[in-house]
Amino acid sequence: MQKITPHLVFDHQAEEAVNAYVSIFKNSKISNITRYADGQGGSAGTVRTIRFQLDGQELIAVNGGPSFTFGDGISLYVSCDTQEEIDHYWEKLSEGGVKEVCGWLRDKYGVYWQIAPTIAWEMVNDPDPDKAQRVADAIDRMTKIDIETLIQAYHGAQ
């Protein structure tokens, strides 16, 4: 087990959400499912916890009841090497959810995601403050991030 493992607490949709996530990300799998037995607090047979991996990153999902909700104070950041990757994750994860600004989305289960190109981090941290600011400004104007637009902004073509 990795030292720090994100733990997602859903109302009652942990199994549905994990199955969706595992189908979206390559190299993903469900490692373990624990189900409630009679008298354990949940309906017998329903998911209690699921340990799973998304592209090698271990996570845990739990059905915790309606008092648990997700907020935008924490998100899952997906670093993408190509525009095709961005497009894939953006479309699949936003289906039934809400597309937000700056590469953020909230999926239909309420989990917040950031879908961003790997080069964006390098660009916004460039030692040239003008380049970094142009890229940051370009990101602020986008919903889904477009790599070509970031490259143009970086080079001052916008």
Per-position pLDDT tens, the chain of length 158 = 689 999 999 999 999 999 999 999 999 999 999 998 887 777 778 899 999 999 999 999 999 889 999 998 999 999 999 999 999 999 999 999 999 999 999 999 999 999 999 999 999 999 999 999 999 999 999 999 999 999 999 999 86
CATH 3.30.720.100 domain position(s) in the chain:
1-68
The pLDDT score that the predictor gives to residue 26 is 95
Using CA atoms, how far apart are residues 78 and 69, in angstroms rounded to an integer?
21
Taking residue 83's Cβ as centre, other Cβ atoms within 10 Å add up to 14
Please determine, looking at this structure, whether the domain spanning 1-68 carries the CATH number 3.40.50.1000.
no
| Portions of the chain given CATH number 3.10.180.10 | 70-158
pTM, rounded to two decimals: 0.92
The two beta strands, 7-10 and 29-35, are unpaired
CATH of domain 70-158: 3.10.180.10
Q: How far apart are CA 13 and CA 2, in angstroms?
A: 24
Cα separations in angstroms, 149 against 5, 90, 104: 34, 17, 17
